[in-house]
Structure 1
Amino acid sequence: MSAFKLHRLGTIMVPEPGNDMEIEGVLNPAAVRGPDGALYLFPRLVAKGNYSRIGIARVKFDEKGDPCGVDRLGIALEPEEDYEKRPGGGGCEDPRITFVETLGRYMMTYTALSADGPRIALAQSTDLIRWERLGLAKFLPYKKIRFNGIDNKDACIFPMGVLSKHNHLSMAMLHRPLFPGTRPEDTMLKSINRRIGDHHECIWISYCHIKMDPAKPRHLARFESNQPLAIPSAPWESLKIGAGTPPVLTPLGWLILYHGVSDMRPTKDDAHELRYAAGLMILDKEHPERILYRSPNPVLSPDLPEEQVGVIANVVFPTGIDRRDDLGQPQRFDVYYGMADNRIGVARLDIPDRLPTDME
């Protein structure tokens, strides 16, 4: 049995009846503590035609301290810029939010959906209410690999400055470029024993060198150096992996949950069905490009009816995490995740005192 296991606490948010902005689902939320100490979710709200906004909601807790519901507070971002619009729609999707101590502000990464495809966009805030867009992320090449102009998703930012490989104090970001031929819909058509491209099917870690000039924040969308972090390695993640929750520093190292995609491979030779599960990594505190531990099996799989039936079947997709310091339980983390692209669930993770030695 894995040393890391999530225990479900329940469904915390479903589409609101009669709300046209949520008619096609609420899913994949950011989770972050506000200046007032309250916990806020920033869910993706999907209207007709896959038109996505980023909402804001305050989490409610029961007498035991477990999350039990939300109060909707409005909209944080909706498509306004050209890079968020496409003919007939557009989208601000799948946010992650981190309070970056080195900068003294909240940083949001989200997927901006335009006619060019999905791209990583960034925004900043000091209060979680007013957000300043910083534009699309821009990257310098890694050797001969170029990132600009490539579909890119699943981005999240570290909560404090780290040193890049060139020894610059940097804001580090995980992301998953979708190079041509590396989407799950593409890789599932290849041999199950295909050769996985070391750099083209990879979660990357990229570094933005921090320049402490609050009057010129747009440099925070420019990433000067990049390093490959991880590729699919186990059968449950054989088609694709992508970053999930923002990194959280623990005594073990940087904790992240990520998603892995596999093919359920039904009996019909010409039919495929994707399955999204969640795994866990621990990264080295000083050198986060080094993986200290990686769960050999999923820590959360789509086992419930609410995770198996929805807009997209068989999906658990972790995007938000909250350390329960408010309960005096720093070893406990509540993980917020999308369920079948239709609703939001929450599960509890208690981390062990030491890393497993046998990858279990």
Structure 2
Amino acid sequence: MTQHAFPHAEFPLGPFTAHEGNPILRPQGDTWESASVYNPAAVVKDDRVVLLYRAHADDIISHVGLATSEDGIHFERHPEPVLSPTEDYEKFGAEDPRVVEIDGTYYLTYTGWDRTSAQLCLATSTDLYTWTKHGPMFPDFNTFLPVGNGSDAPWSKAGAILPVPINGRYLMYFGEGSIWYAWSDDLIHWTPCSNDEPIMVPTPPGTFGSFLVEVGPQPIITNNGLILLLHNAAVKNEDGTVRYTCGQLLFSPDDPTTILAQMNRPWLEPQTYEDTHGLVSNVTFVEGLVFFRDTWFAYYGQSDSTLGVATYKVGDTYDHGAFGG
């Protein structure tokens, strides 16, 4: 059995409140982050929040940028990307990072995009600025099964590593379309479950995950020993547009591949102008989660264009008035 990492995390985590000053990061300049800044990973280092965020110009070739903050809200950006496309499998984008720190090493999962396949890739670093790439993790996987995405090409995204080992092994949840899992002894080489056995598939018609479900930021061990996973979910409208919101799942460390509970309504959804207008409109897409100074910070992309944050201060409660109390 593992020891919990956060003594004040219960299911469902929250309530989260979107920051009134969102977006906290916008596109800037006329080069690599001039068109969109969104979908950030987050980690705490040296008592600062560090964001590793996706950004691109009008060419939509994504890079990963870095920004730091002393309060989790106001960020100072590093002038150049810290991770950029260099290999054929990512020549049209290094996208959508997630990050964890384990024993002094940072493990970054991201999507390599070649305009045919999206492939979940891994990179490691000891300083967050210089990264060693380890290539695609699951080159034979299609995370859109069992529904399918109309392509025979490999497809995998959204890798979220639990930073605490379970019985000596590390666990990763991954997947866009459906949600899957993989195990590792060394955090570099990962063995996925069968492509026939997803943990979670799209939810029933009329619910907020009926088009797809996708892993969000890294899962956490809660105060009662259970694993909490935040995920993204989407519905497709009749006109072909989509709407992305965010849910939560609960697992047991003794059986981390079986869902014990799940939210049946979103804890974060498009509301503001930036949430509802952008490159892909009506999207709140969470990829970063940190516990910092007694507050949970959830960082998310707004309509694939800007970057927002929602916070939950430990001790806050849901409005009882909303439930007639």
TM interval, short-chain normalised: 0.7 to 0.9
For residues 293 and 349 of structure 1, what CA distance do their matches in structure 2 show?
Answer: 20
- Name the structure 2 match of 1:207: 183
Q: Note closer, same or farther for the CA distance 1:341–1:248 as it changes in structure 2 (3 Å cut).
A: same
Larger proportion of strand: 1
Amino acid at match of 1:281: L
- Name the structure 1 match of 2:128: 128
1:13 to 25, 29, 49: 25
Alignment of structure 1 residues 249-268 onto 2, 5 Å: 249-252=221-224, 253-265=226-238
Q: Secondary structure at the match of 2:89?
A: helix
Using the TM superposition, give the Cα deviation of residue 352 of structure 1 relative to its aligned residue in structure 2, in angstroms.
Answer: 7.8
- Name the structure 2 match of 1:108: 108
For residues 139 and 262 of structure 2, what CA distance do their matches in structure 1 show?
Answer: 27
Amino acid at match of 2:118: P
- Name the structure 1 match of 2:82: 76
Unaligned runs of at least 5 residues, structure 2: 1-11, 147-151, 317-322
Alignment of structure 1 residues 161-310 onto 2, 5 Å: 161-163=165-167, 169-176=168-175, 201-208=177-184, 210-211=185-186, 220-223=188-191, 225-226=193-194, 228-234=198-204, 235-252=207-224, 253-265=226-238, 271-310=239-278
Unaligned runs of at least 5 residues, structure 1: 62-66, 164-168, 178-200, 212-218, 266-270, 354-359
Using the TM superposition, give the Cα deviation of residue 162 of structure 1 relative to its aligned residue in structure 2, in angstroms.
Answer: 2.2
1:338 to 298, 301, 304: 301
Q: Note closer, same or farther for the CA distance 1:294–1:274 as it changes in structure 2 (3 Å cut).
A: same
The answer on whether the counterparts of 2:43 and 2:289 sit within 8 Å (CA) in structure 1 is yes
Amino acid at match of 1:345: G
For residues 112 and 58 of structure 2, what CA distance do their matches in structure 1 show?
Answer: 17
For residues 39 and 52 of structure 2, what CA distance do their matches in structure 1 show?
Answer: 8
Using the TM superposition, give the Cα deviation of residue 171 of structure 1 relative to its aligned residue in structure 2, in angstroms.
Answer: 2.3
Using the TM superposition, give the Cα deviation of residue 305 of structure 1 relative to its aligned residue in structure 2, in angstroms.
Answer: 0.9
- Name the structure 1 match of 2:9: none
Q: Secondary structure at the match of 1:83?
A: helix
2:65 to 55, 58, 73: 55
- Name the structure 2 match of 1:25: 36
1:94 to 93, 96, 99: 96
The answer on whether the counterparts of 2:182 and 2:190 sit within 8 Å (CA) in structure 1 is no
- CA displacement, residues 206-250 of structure 1 (integer Å, 9 cap, x when unaligned): 112x14xxxxxxx81432545522122251110100001111222
Using the TM superposition, give the Cα deviation of residue 27 of structure 1 relative to its aligned residue in structure 2, in angstroms.
Answer: 0.3
What TM-score, normalized to structure 2? 0.82
Amino acid at match of 1:68: I
For residues 313 and 202 of structure 2, what CA distance do their matches in structure 1 show?
Answer: 25
Amino acid at match of 2:98: R
- Name the structure 2 match of 1:268: none
1:153 to 157, 171, 181: 157
251-260 vs 239-248, which deviates more? 251-260
- CA displacement, residues 93-117 of structure 1 (integer Å, 9 cap, x when unaligned): 000001134xx42100000011442
The alignment-based identity, stated in percent, is 27
The answer on whether the counterparts of 2:162 and 2:220 sit within 8 Å (CA) in structure 1 is yes
Structure label with greater radius of gyration: 1
- Name the structure 1 match of 2:4: none
The answer on whether the counterparts of 1:241 and 1:259 sit within 8 Å (CA) in structure 2 is yes
For residues 243 and 224 of structure 1, what CA distance do their matches in structure 2 show?
Answer: 15
Q: Secondary structure at the match of 1:258?
A: strand
- CA displacement, residues 56-112 of structure 1 (integer Å, 9 cap, x when unaligned): 110242xxxxx3321111321001112111xxxx110000001134xx421000000
For residues 68 and 94 of structure 1, what CA distance do their matches in structure 2 show?
Answer: 20
The answer on whether the counterparts of 2:287 and 2:299 sit within 8 Å (CA) in structure 1 is yes
Q: Secondary structure at the match of 2:265?
A: coil
- Name the structure 1 match of 2:310: 347
238-247 vs 127-136, which deviates more? 127-136
For residues 132 and 3 of structure 1, what CA distance do their matches in structure 2 show?
Answer: 33
- Name the structure 1 match of 2:6: none
